[in-house]
Amino acid sequence: MVGIVSLNPPYMGDTAMSYQTEYDLSMNDPEGFWRKQAEALEWYKFPQQILTRDADGIGYWFADGEMNTAYMALDHHVSNGRGNQLALIFDSPVTDTKSKFTYSELTDSVARTAGMLADLGVVKGDRVIIYMPMIPEAVIAMLAVARLGAIHSVVFGGFAPPELALRIDDAKPKVILSASCGIEIKRIVEYKPLLDKAIALATHKPQNCIIFQRPQCAAPLTAGRDYDWTTLLAKAEPVGCTPVKGSDPLYILYTSGTTGKPKGVVRENGGHAVALKYSMKAIYNVEAGDVFWASSDVGWVVGHSYIVYAPLLQGCTTVVYEGKPIMTPDAGALWRVCAEYGVKALFTAPTAFRAVKKEDSQALLMKNYDLSKLLTIFSAGERLDAPTEAWLTDNSGKPVVDHWWQTETGWAITANLQGVEPMTIKPGSSTMPVPGFNVQILDENGHQMPRGSQGYIAVKLPLPPACLNRIWGDDNKFRDSYLSFLTGYYTTGDGGYIDDDGYVFVMGRVDDVINVAGHRLSTGEIEEVIASHPAVAECAVIARDDELKGQVPMGLVVLKSGVAISEADLQKELIARVRETIGAITCYKDTVILARLPKTRSGKTLRKTLCKIVNGQEYVVASTIDDPAVIPEIIEVLRGKQIVP
């Protein structure tokens, strides 16, 4: 075993330091700032090259450090006498199953799973695709790949075969890890037929597949290629951690909704570990031993960062939940898990909270549970609308913290740093830039916009640790997609503004801006007004083509359960609200009530698809859609109103 550099005591963040002091340190001396954060981790060889930059200003962090992320997340805690602490809690209401792993038990499972992969020839630098449901084995698989110094690429379980095939061809995995099925609320999704079809479609063929057989569905194995997970694991011996460089890739994660050749975001080991460890205290204010729950899926970036890596790097207990915020069994599911396991910080997407609000608008189910250990509720993934934020705050009595980040960054760009200096919450704002992120609002020519004026949200290079600095196998695509538009900046693709107090307001994707008679209006701003109506559970505002004005906004609305209001009355009231709040310049007049909105499995509303449907344009239903049946339902409603032919 390579010797460990132990820096004692590790830097855990200075809670006495003000936000501005901490942020200024990260701007004025980024190398010194991030060197200090790196001291919180145990390296085999502490990095001497903290930051290097290329000709384009792209940053590479801790490149010459030697480490292993799985060691930092698991073995380190066992070595320091905390092996008996709970590391992972599995809760599956869809299968009525619960289990727990201590740090010692999880480390042993990961070491033996790594041995299973090593027996099939997986070595440092190899790629392994993980196509699994939300079960402990998915987390174990990720950490086992990292233990070997290999590179994992998790694909959301149940993804359509063509999308999986694209990722197979791009990542070229030696092995694919999968399960026989995933469990939805009312159905079983068989993974093996989807996997077999994807491999048939792909040009690259993996050497082997390992299938975890779940009792709900047994999958047939392909002779000579497939192995039964349990049988293979029983023969495996545990293996140690393979040292890697800080600049070596930990994983590839493909951005959802891509067409053609997908964009594989590359996350490097060193910067990823340092930034995520720092974020657990600075942003979420959790310490070793605390229970942290990110209610997401390991197939998404939130799952990578805050179900698997960050909580374990911090020595927390993480929750793996196989269920939904509603219907498993009811809209009290989130609160039941928080109460049962003593969750200190809950993190989920706004769409989950809106679903709960729709089903339990008076929060009666919340009152059934003791939430005294829950200190803070965090939200990200989509803009947290002010009415939902207020509903959560009023009913839970907890601070509800919106923060904004992307698959590409791997952690928050803007946040209200609970572990540094909790700041006043402004509805609609994700608060301030996180230390390391130089956030600016620019026009299309790269000039800074005045405070309060909307523009492109950009981050000055170099980006802080954990952010992408390349696309797998295609450096030109990285530069073209993110760096070419605004020289010297990473372009986020989102628009917004910074107010006089320095608070950042993210108003939505740049392509979600409506041009009404030459006036650029944010759909997010209009959505916020509509969502404030007491009858509205959630909404999407899209641009409808108009011969006179070019575009006009249309509101697609889902009502709260049990609410009775006519579409005509709702439309009249929403017109008045939008005019009063934003102005008649919006030309808002059309409202359509729908039973539900189309969403991806990660909870994002498919606004672009809705826009194309309403305007009679060709569209492709995203492979990430949660339920394809919602599209024909919506078309039928729009056809009945003669909005579409």
Domain assignment present for 608: yes
Domain assignment present for 516: no
Domain assignment present for 192: yes
Q: How do beta strands 127-131 and 175-179 pair? A: parallel
Residue 599 is given by DSSP the state B
Domain assignment present for 620: yes
pLDDT tens for residues 312-350?
999 999 999 999 999 999 999 999 999 999 999 999 988
For the segment 136-148, the average pLDDT, to the nearest whole number, is 98
Instruction: Please report which residue ranges of 434-587 form alpha helices under DSSP H.
Output: 475-478, 523-531, 567-581
Share of the chain above pLDDT 70, in %: 95
- Give the integer Cα–Cα distance in Å for 66 and 19: 31
Asked whether the predicted pLDDT for residue 278 surpasses 70, the reply is yes
* Reported confidence tier of residue 628, pLDDT bands at 50, 70, 90: confident
pLDDT tens for residues 157-192?
877 888 899 999 999 999 999 999 999 888 999 999
Domain boundary among 185, 216, 242: 242
Asked whether the predicted pLDDT for residue 379 surpasses 80, the reply is yes
464 vs 386, residue with greater confidence: 464
**Residue 223 belongs to domain spanning:** 104-242
50 vs 587, residue with greater confidence: 50
Domain assignment present for 203: yes
pLDDT of amino acid 12: 36
pLDDT of amino acid 248: 98
Domain assignment present for 588: yes
Number of domains composing the chain: 2
The predicted model scores a pTM of 0.85
pLDDT of amino acid 513: 67
Of residues 273, 256, 255, the one with CA closest to residue 264: 255
- Give the integer Cα–Cα distance in Å for 204 and 483: 30
Domain boundary among 242, 271, 304: 242
Domain assignment present for 267: no
pLDDT of amino acid 557: 96
Q: Tell me, what CATH number does 534's domain have? A: 3.30.300.30
For the segment 226-250, the average pLDDT, to the nearest whole number, is 98
Domain boundary among 207, 242, 277: 242
Of residues 82, 466, 30, 520, the one with CA closest to residue 251: 466
Residue 85 is given by DSSP the state S
Domain assignment present for 146: yes
For the segment 72-86, the average pLDDT, to the nearest whole number, is 98
- E strand segments, 479-589: 489-498, 504-509, 513-516, 519-522, 536-546, 550-559
587 vs 289, residue with greater confidence: 289
pLDDT of amino acid 477: 87
Instruction: Report the chain's mean pLDDT, rounded to a whole number.
Output: 92
- Give the integer Cα–Cα distance in Å for 52 and 16: 31
pLDDT tens for residues 105-136?
999 999 999 999 999 999 999 999 999 999 99
